[in-house]
Amino acid sequence: MITTIIKHEFIRARGWLAQVFGGATLLVATGSALALTDWPMVSTFGVVLGAFAVVALMPVAQLALAWDYWRSSYRRLGYFTQTLPIRGATQYWARLIWGTAVSLLALAWSIVLGVGLWYGSMRVTDSRPADLWDTVTGTWELATQAAPAWFWVLALLLVVLLMLSNVAAYYFAASVGSERRFAGLGAGGPVLVWVLIYFAIQLAFVVAIVTVPWGVGLVDGRLGLVEQDFLSLLVANEETDVMPIGFLPVLVLMVVPLVWRTIVSWERKVSLV
């Protein structure tokens, strides 16, 4: 059933997906073409334009996912969606899997576009085709000298998890913000809920950081655990080179209540407008 729902999600969303991914690709192609002209200002503008498209693709795709989720679940299309003889939890899990897949695809395509922009802007950056590979391998070598490879793989996975958690947060805001208590606000309900959970998550991050007096810093030239009183630093408004790790449990676990409460909304608190 989940596979069938995902199939219909793709059929309904392929139009705007093509616009988002195609628009980013067109911007990168345009930026690369402008960069190849080697004209002052114009070529630099082309690089900036392409870089903007690479960076913006995933956030724009996730915002489009949130809008499509809200529109198809709680607006006009919601009357059809909510009357299907399928449990709300099943529909939600299918949409969450779909949103995660689109987000990963956007991330992968951003990397592809970034590589294309690199080669398209070689005149501006005065680079050679082999420089990209040399940069990647050189950076990785320096990174693994400072910390084991598993550390950087874990760090990369955490960054990806942070980006993917946006899907759960957007869907939570769309569902809870469409419940009866917010029904009169229209699109303002999901926006209000998202703002509230954004500040709640940031507060949870701060509390976790000052509660856990450990971070990652240089120890004898390599990255390792360093004891640090982040609360005292915060009170004294002092800076530190140690990266706190207290926020990591919050980052990993915050998805659980978001998913659970969204399922509750689907099962018991649907309010269509």
What tokens appear for 60 in the block? 């724009």
pLDDT, mean of residues 223-245: 75
pLDDT at res. 79: 54
Residue 225: what are its φ and ψ, rounded to 5°?
A: -75, 130
Question: How far does the chain reach from its first CA to its final CA, in angstroms?
Answer: 26
pLDDT at res. 78: 58
Find, among 141, 138, 119, the residue nearest to 128 by Cα: 119
Dmax over Cα atoms in the chain, in whole Å?
63
What tokens appear for 83 in the block? 């009357």
Asked if 243 and 151 count as a contact pair (C-beta separation under 8 A), the reply is no
Three-state secondary-structure class, residue 219: strand
pLDDT at res. 155: 80
pLDDT higher than 70, residue 80: no
- How far is 38 from 44, CA to CA, in rounded Å? 9
- How far is 147 from 153, CA to CA, in rounded Å? 11
pLDDT higher than 90, residue 65: yes
Residue 37: what are its φ and ψ, rounded to 5°?
A: -65, -25
| DSSP β-bridge partners for residue 227 | 214
Lowest mean pLDDT among 57-61, 63-67, 72-76: 72-76
pLDDT at res. 273: 55
Q: Which residue has the higher pLDDT, 170 or 241?
A: 170
Average pLDDT of the residues of the chain: 82
pLDDT at res. 106: 94
- How far is 207 from 97, CA to CA, in rounded Å? 30
